[in-house]
Structure 1
């Protein structure tokens, strides 16, 4: 087994009780495929894996196995509860090299008050994990870490076994030929509650005209069935190759894989600097460069979409004003173009205030007007009344943080839940006073495209 330099760092971390210890060992290895490392965990760690790649492709994270899980159903206290447990777990960390950190990855569901069960029946409101085997690709370097959290006084044998397992995983990822996966074969395609969705647009626009809200996001789902069970590596391989401009993520929970390719950052914190993205208002891509330019200009000049975008900019900038100093905000949006769709986009950045943290920003930013509505409380009540499904992690925060408080969360749109040979795709749109049901329906078709393509299906133009 050849390692790059074979520099190891072992840290012992204080934790939830005096008997429990957090051991971490990291080695730098020759660069390897993140997908191959994820796939190498199929036999022993299926149901306990995660995958993340940022939009810039400068940071990739893969986790195999659960060294520690933080989960809760504490409603509005859930963000604080995760933060407190993570701080307690890592409070005494001693770190020789700042490159090497234990990372917590997971997500918060969109609405803990939604009582529809469906495919999300067994999913907690907050679900995060520290991986047993953690791969980080950053700055053209690859690091593989073992995380062991135990209350046993002598864990040397356990750690030696994990080292052997780590070596097998690295070998499999570096040496075995990267598998090419075929697309799943779909056997059925359903649009659950299509008529109810169309009817809800009319009802919600009436509520908005009566000034019960200014904007409400209403979503719907597609239900697909396949000839055979679809594996997590199979579907992630297609998402990764087809959606390179987006945040790419996959999170397993038992038999479910939640995955997607989101264009939208919720918040990033890097050495005390905070960044967010206002993404709202969308239109399809053109078949030619000229048509694409014309569609983009029409989006920039469209009153409805500019209004939707303004709500998001206003709310995110206010949140940054409360939690940050030196906030920077461009006066006009620009276009964010990805494979199937183009959006209005305004970046926001600031310096974190003394007491602010990434999870506090997540708590205050979620849900943004782009995914919930305006005002937030009234919009959420309307969504609960008129959306016949549970969004689960769709449109919710998904991402990571480390022991230093750095991290990044995306908004989990352009996403789907896969359970064996069934998949559930999600898409929504902002409803305002002059929204038309059929146009909103067509907008969701455009937003379904990325995940539908990855799953082997296609929509008519």
Structure 2
């Protein structure tokens, strides 16, 4: 079960080489709640857990503990760093002997060139982990993988301790089940940089009228404070109940939890096929079906939103043209409806070129015009100049990949950062030549709703 790997230290200034041993064990389980498994690791693995569930709800991933981590604060090479280190680790594994592969989960910050602000200081620009204990629920099958990665030889005693730890976690999850949580109590809500945000809309609009860019996405934050410290398990349970139709994700780093319910796939790779989603242009849901249909139809006919959407379609189509043998794109968008909001949506799919990988696709696609703007370089420069905050992991790629190179990344929107008794929510909108500051402000309020409701807060019009 142990194989050897010669690998370099993460720090390029240190040239010493060492041996890595990789142990894998897999068992199939039944009747196990993903939330209960996440909660079971609250004491032993607090600050080292993650959760993922895809939009279709046929794939769930829970990670407890860190068998191996990959972090990078590089700029252009952060995607390559993660890919190289993961491939090097997988090269010494005997994963093909087991029914479930090891999975690497993590995220990238939106923009490594933006100075780090206080709430994001604990996160690297690339942060990925292979869990010590990994639960995978795929369709009707459930597996728990246990992993040990060590520079020392892995002993029989090491394996016994790991398996005993796994069995204890399973016992907790199966016997205790998932807890019930009361709604959270928000004691204060603040809009940091509200005036600076409104001013930035005017500044960016003026620049767009001058021809500097076609579209720029400007975001802002909403800060909450709670009556008591909030646990990651509580938050995840609330989001799980409130937003079942979205990608659900949660990533712990020490006392920080980044979590969300995103409607937007960045890229899915499966059996050398790639799939992406063009999502841009949004409007609220209606109180009745008739009102909902009217709002949806108005979105389908709205010139500003259609223009924003087309920027995304063109950019993602170009990426697929560069990375795929062939690809297909529908001629017109459709509506994607989730609980609080409806979007213009166009799916794209294609057959990957030989040698193309999921992280190459992620690097190529991020940020799409839906989260950055168009053209990309000019829009990013303007975001750095005018956006009055650091997005951190908000709007960055978050997701997973397995040993074979399959995986999926979502765009980390409809998200928030929890820090014990505080939370920071994030939302943005696309600015074009005829954008108006208050209209863009109102659009962010709609986008705050999913996370705000899950955290027990509400807006004045709720």
User: Is the structural similarity TM-score above 0.5?
Assistant: yes
Structure 1 residue 95, shift from structure 2 partner: 3.7
Secondary structure at 1:428's aligned position in 2? strand
After superposing the two structures, state which structure 1 stretch, 94-103 or 298-307, moved more: 94-103
Q: 2:295 & 2:137 partners in 1: Cα distance?
A: 37
Q: 2:106 & 2:239 partners in 1: Cα distance?
A: 19
Change (3 A) 1:353 1:199: same
The equivalent of 1:4 in structure 2 is none
Q: Could you give the per-residue CA deviations for residues 268-323 of structure 1, whole angstroms, max 9, x where no partner exists?
A: 00010100000000000000000000000000000000000000000000000000
Secondary structure at 1:207's aligned position in 2? helix
Secondary structure at 1:343's aligned position in 2? strand
Q: 2:105 & 2:25 partners in 1: Cα distance?
A: 18
The reply on whether 1:58 has 2:81 as its aligned counterpart is no
Change (3 A) 1:413 1:279: same
The equivalent of 2:14 in structure 1 is none
Q: Could you give the per-residue CA deviations for residues 390-415 of structure 1, whole angstroms, max 9, x where no partner exists?
A: 10110000000011000000000000
Secondary structure at 2:426's aligned position in 1? strand
Q: 1:98 & 1:375 partners in 2: Cα distance?
A: 45
The equivalent of 2:195 in structure 1 is 195
The reply on whether 1:394 has 2:394 as its aligned counterpart is yes
Q: After superposition, where does 1:259-338 map in structure 2 within 5 Å?
A: 259-338=259-338
Q: Assess if the C-alpha contact under 8 Å between 2:255 and 2:419 holds in 1.
A: yes
The equivalent of 2:245 in structure 1 is 245
Secondary structure at 2:184's aligned position in 1? coil
Q: Assess if the C-alpha contact under 8 Å between 2:39 and 2:178 holds in 1.
A: no
Q: Could you give the per-residue CA deviations for residues 155-187 of structure 1, whole angstroms, max 9, x where no partner exists?
A: 211110111110010011111142111122111
The equivalent of 2:24 in structure 1 is 24
The equivalent of 1:102 in structure 2 is 102
Structure 1 residue 139, shift from structure 2 partner: 1.8
Q: Could you give the per-residue CA deviations for residues 88-120 of structure 1, whole angstroms, max 9, x where no partner exists?
A: 111243344574111000000000011142201
Secondary structure at 1:362's aligned position in 2? helix
Structure 1 residue 374, shift from structure 2 partner: 0.4
Q: After superposition, where does 1:351-366 map in structure 2 within 5 Å?
A: 351-366=351-366
Q: After superposition, where does 1:74-113 map in structure 2 within 5 Å?
A: 74-96=74-96, 99-113=99-113
The equivalent of 2:119 in structure 1 is 119
Secondary structure at 2:393's aligned position in 1? coil
TM-score of the two chains, using structure 2 as the length reference: 0.96
Q: Assess if the C-alpha contact under 8 Å between 1:218 and 1:430 holds in 2.
A: yes
Q: Assess if the C-alpha contact under 8 Å between 2:22 and 2:92 holds in 1.
A: no
Change (3 A) 1:11 1:242: farther
Structure 1 residue 12, shift from structure 2 partner: 4.8
Q: 1:153 & 1:107 partners in 2: Cα distance?
A: 30
Change (3 A) 1:90 1:333: same
The equivalent of 1:376 in structure 2 is 376
Secondary structure at 2:113's aligned position in 1? coil
Q: Assess if the C-alpha contact under 8 Å between 1:116 and 1:389 holds in 2.
A: no
The equivalent of 1:7 in structure 2 is none
The reply on whether 1:445 has 2:445 as its aligned counterpart is yes
Unpaired runs of 5+ in structure 2?
8-16
Q: Assess if the C-alpha contact under 8 Å between 2:283 and 2:341 holds in 1.
A: yes
The equivalent of 2:136 in structure 1 is 136
After superposing the two structures, state which structure 1 stretch, 323-332 or 260-269, moved more: 323-332
Change (3 A) 1:13 1:154: closer
Q: 1:59 & 1:168 partners in 2: Cα distance?
A: 24
Q: 1:11 & 1:174 partners in 2: Cα distance?
A: 31
Q: Assess if the C-alpha contact under 8 Å between 2:279 and 2:346 holds in 1.
A: yes
The equivalent of 2:13 in structure 1 is none
- Count matched residues: 452
Q: Assess if the C-alpha contact under 8 Å between 1:14 and 1:90 holds in 2.
A: no
Secondary structure at 2:307's aligned position in 1? helix
Change (3 A) 1:45 1:15: farther
Structure 1 residue 18, shift from structure 2 partner: 6.2
Change (3 A) 1:106 1:123: same
The equivalent of 2:11 in structure 1 is none
Structure 1 residue 66, shift from structure 2 partner: 0.3
Q: 1:11 & 1:240 partners in 2: Cα distance?
A: 38
Secondary structure at 2:44's aligned position in 1? helix
Q: 1:317 & 1:403 partners in 2: Cα distance?
A: 27
TM-score of the two chains, using structure 1 as the length reference: 0.96
Q: 1:57 & 1:377 partners in 2: Cα distance?
A: 35
The equivalent of 2:425 in structure 1 is 425
Structure 1 residue 147, shift from structure 2 partner: 0.5
Q: Assess if the C-alpha contact under 8 Å between 1:31 and 1:140 holds in 2.
A: no
Q: 1:431 & 1:319 partners in 2: Cα distance?
A: 23
Change (3 A) 1:146 1:367: same
Structure 1 residue 31, shift from structure 2 partner: 2.7
Q: Assess if the C-alpha contact under 8 Å between 1:13 and 1:23 holds in 2.
A: no
Structure 1 residue 13, shift from structure 2 partner: 7.0
Q: Could you give the per-residue CA deviations for residues 1-37 of structure 1, whole angstroms, max 9, x where no partner exists?
A: xxxxxxxxx6757463662111110000113100000
Secondary structure at 1:75's aligned position in 2? coil
